[in-house]
Amino acid sequence: MTIKNTGFGRRQPAPIVSNVPIALPKTYIENRKPDIRASQFKKVKLIFNNGYCTFDAILRELSDHGAKIESPDALNVPDTFTLHILQSGIQKTCYLIWRDNHFIGVSFKPFH
């Protein structure tokens, strides 16, 4: 319990506020991912520079709107590239959202 000084040496306990709902903000991860991603482990190619440059990578998580990709070249991946999933032949245009040493998070270009 905290003590509040009322002046001239007299002290009284500070009022305790209880039963006040505290709105907790969403965590960074919840704000970063708009939907749930399914775990994957598929070989992919990151294609950029008009198809002249590629990086090999592993698709770790996939959703309708984005993906998490593991690559040893994650720090060198450009802001926009094409993701080619080798197993299914699907290609998607990707925009870089975040990156760290070995992973990148991307969102897919929406269809109009």
pTM: 0.66
| Long-range Cβ pairs for the range 25-34 (8 Å, 24+) | 32/97, 32/98, 32/105, 33/63, 33/66, 34/65, 34/66
Beta bridge partners of 42: 59
Amino acid identity for residue 73 in this structure:
D
The residue range of the domain holding 82 is 40-112
Domain with 46 in it: what CATH number? 2.40.10.220
> Does residue 1 form part of some domain?
no
Q: How many residues does the chain have?
A: 112
> Does residue 44 form part of some domain?
yes
> Does residue 54 form part of some domain?
yes
Closest CA relative to residue 44, chosen from 13, 71, 77: 71
Instruction: Note the pLDDT tens digit of each residue in 12-70.
Output: 666 655 555 555 555 545 555 556 667 889 999 999 999 999 999 999 999 989 999 99
> Does residue 27 form part of some domain?
no
Domain count, the chain: 1
> Does residue 65 form part of some domain?
yes
Q: Decide if 68 contacts 111 (C-beta within 8 A).
A: no
> Does residue 26 form part of some domain?
no
